[in-house]
Amino acid sequence: MTAPWTWEFGGYDPKKERVVEALCTLGNGRFATRGSAPETVADTLHYPGTYLAGCYNRLVSNVRGLQIVNEDMVNLPNWTALRYRCLPEGGPPGDWLTPDDPSLRHCKVILDLRGGTLTRRMLFQDAQGCRLGVTHTRLVHMGDPYLAAQRTAFRAYGWSGSIEAESALDGDIANAGVERYRDLAGSHLTDHRAGVEPEGVAWLSCTTSSSRTRIGLAVRTTSLPPVPVATSCTGSAAVLAFALPISRGQPAVLVKTAALHTTLDRPTGDPLGRAVESATRAPDFPSLLLSHQTTWKRLWSEGELSVPGEPGRIVRLHAFHVLQTLSRHTAELDAGVPARGLHGEAYRGHVFWDELFVMPYVTLHFPEVARALLMYRHRRLPAARAAALQVGGRGAMFPWQSGSSGREETQSLHLNPRSGRWLSDHSRLQRHVGSAIALNVWRYGQTTGDTGFMHGPGAELLLEIAGYWADTAAFDQASGRYHIRGVLGPDEYHDAYPDSAVPGIDDNAYTNVTAAWVLARGLELIDNLPAARRAELLGLLDLDREALDRWEDLSRRLYVPFHQGVISQFEGYGGLAELDWDAYRARYGDIRRLDRILEGEGDTVNRYQASKQADTLMLGYLYRPAELHALFARLGYRLDDETWRSTVAYYRNRTSHGSTLSSLAHGWVLAHQKGEEAWPYCEEALLGDVTDIQGGTTGEGIHLGAMGGTLDLVERGVVGLEACAEGLRIDPVPLGDIPRSTFTFCYRGHRGIRVRFLPGRLGISVPASPHGTVQLILPHERKVSVPAGKQRWFRLPPG
């Protein structure tokens, strides 16, 4: 793994194959296909999968005698399927070959980030010494969001005869990629029909069982040399069979060109007819490859983030997967930010709060995509209002897990694979997801200057979320403070107080502080609205002067608990028992999922001062130190540097890092403290999926939030780039292992502003445009400007 733009996986290790499949997924923001070998089928080692953004389906499962409903992102028919075997002249046919065949002598998988292609090279050798070389090259077209292609080249060494090959379009597919979901229903596709057109284009249509999304897939398979084709079909598959002559110096080639259309497309139409037409008319493979690579070249010119060394290679891989999941094609869909990308079935393809970590990068580089992702939330505003009403509240209560409709999709039961027990799941009480949405809205507005959005859908989102917090908080006369009770924080471990039959904890510091921030920003936004729009919104939301005065009071008097001179994660946290961390590490080694370990022992993490991931410390990830201090001051608390340092140290020693987001947040916070301890956490965030650090989770889908967060770590964390009302703030935080970086970004109409961050120096280049001068705020509040069409360099103070 040495080239800056390629990732190579040498050899073949079946135990790591699912991780390779996830990391080598190819997509275009509309759909993605896992990097599985075409010869394989879904089993314990391999998992082919193709997923369409926004394509969900609900099924009912029976668990512990209960009927539970889960909505999943649907695994679509497999367009890549190909099997083959050798027919030597005068000899019997060989076995169907796969990477697991004992005749495999060599295997290398190459992911090309620059051109967006996946190549798998294999060499087989039989007992007689006859060898067959096979090279698969795959793309999911970034220019045409409906097309994908796969070219397979066969080369004979030391023999001649033919290759018997079968190109299949397989619709006998279920969602079965996550072991702990295996007891749940997974057959989402129904009403299969398959056939082959006279021109040799195989087709398949099917429908999701409950959401009734109709899917049309067509595959054109061509061969070189051209040979007669035999076809066969079942109810759920179409197969084209080829006998390809092959000899030394005469290779054989098969090309599969796939087209995917559904009734989710806009404008709607007949998906099968469109798929057959698209596959039939698609250009040949060299032309598709060229146009695909050209689109990626343009995409990288807007989205590349250049960092030296191995961290830079990993950052580029992370950007690649973010771009494949969220592209301009995503903006045409009703789709959000799936926590595990379009790379697998973990978390059922749902949308959580991970956009909080991904949106800063997307907003800076692709603001139109960021706007579309916020509109996904806006279209679900009616469902969020209904959810708030259902619990007797007002405003908008967004779900912890979202999918197709905006209703709460969080499972009611989850399996502890360690104990084998199904347990009640209360994670839906993470109401802080609303604050994450509001923060993304605000940052989008600050970065883009898009007043049309901020005065329209953005205002509706932010103000409705603020309204929910205003209605949820309860005033306590004795303390003179407002309280938010019965919630979960980002930690997720603590879903109730010890021995309590009622789920939820009170006054989670992260929840309360971010709620106060939302309320303050809501008031600021109302003041900045045009008079007519202000009157309209206040009327629609039934906000009078008394209601706004309550917002103001809440934003200054929400309760934040403290104990032992540190911020308490929630009220009562300091009274919980201390865990013997050394004993548990000695007994179990990896204790990232401490909750499962304790439950397996008949205990509960609710009894201990032990957190799954950054919770209180997430405040240091979201807000610059000065901003965080000001937030606490507005709430009537003094948060000095010493208190914050003590808080960071306190939770560092009580966190198991059971989430890939945890090390990212810890590294970020420690970097801002200019501590040497920061890099190990940052490095773990970078390596999370590359090394499958969570032990088997990457194969179920990459962690998009953590990947996007590492991009944000460079741009907003190390370079310190952040838009604010006064201009573009740049306040670097030196991190020795990321000494320099270069990237371009968009800001308030400007496109292609280039940043060159070097030790002690910063270069800003603003392309010529009609949008005028860019105002910068450098360290120590030094205000400077860079006119359009100019470049300026600035010296930075020592770190």
Catalytic residues: 492
> 737 in helix, strand or coil?
coil
Tell me which residue of 230, 236, 208 sits closest to 403, measured CA to CA: 208
Listed in sequence order, the residues at least 6 apart from 708 whose beta carbon sits closer than 8 Å to its beta carbon are: 318, 322, 354, 357, 358, 359, 360, 361, 362
Distance CA 28, CA 80 (A): 16
Q: Which two tokens stand for residue 490?
A: 């980002």
Residue 793's DSSP bridge partners are: 763
Contact 725, 342 (CB under 8 A): no
Q: Under a CB-based contact definition with an 8 Å cutoff, are residues 734 and 714 in contact?
A: no
What separation in angstroms does the CA of 684 have from each of 314, 668, 693, 707, 747? 11, 12, 8, 11, 31
Angle (deg, nearest 10), helices 457-472 and 381-390: 10
Instruction: Please give the full DSSP string across 604-647, using - where no structure is assigned.
Output: -GGGBS-BSS-STTHHHHHS-HHHHHHHHHHTT----HHHHHHH
Closest CA to 135 of 115, 160, 117, 148: 117
Q: Tell me the CA distances in angstroms from 149 to 81, 181, 258, one per residue in order.
A: 12, 31, 6
Q: What are phi and psi of 292, to 5 degrees?
A: -65, -45
Q: List 758's β-bridge partners, or say none.
A: 761
Helix/strand/coil percentages in the chain, nearest 5: 35, 30, 35
Among candidate residues 486, 650, 636, 634, the one with its CA nearest the CA of residue 567: 650
Distances (CA, A) of 38 to 82, 122, 702: 5, 12, 21
769-797: burial string, b at 16+ Cβ within 10 Å, e else: eeeeebebbbeeeeeeebebeeeeebebe
The tokens describing 560, both together, are 């934040």
DSSP 40: -
Cα separation, 157 vs 247, whole angstroms? 8
Tokens of 320: 């690649």
Distance CA 75, CA 81 (A): 14
Are the C-beta atoms of residues 173 and 77 closer than 8 Å to each other? yes
The CA distance from 178 to 47, in Å, is 10
CB distance 33 to 145 below 8 Å: no
326 phi and psi, to 5 degrees? -130, 95
Give the alpha-carbon dihedral of 324, 329, 331, 334, to 10 degrees: -90
DSSP annotation string for 418-434: TTTEEEE--GGG-TTHH
Sign of CA dihedral 494, 500, 503, 509: negative
CA-wise closest residue to 757 among 781, 776, 739, 779: 739
Q: Are strands 50-63 and 66-75 parallel, antiparallel or unpaired?
A: antiparallel
Phi/psi at 767 (5° precision) = -60, 155
CA distance 173 to 175: 7
Measured in degrees and rounded to the nearest 5, phi and psi for residue 608 equal -125, 155
Angstrom distance (rounded) from CA 790 to CA 301: 19
Q: Residue 117 — φ and ψ, nearest 5°?
A: -125, 160
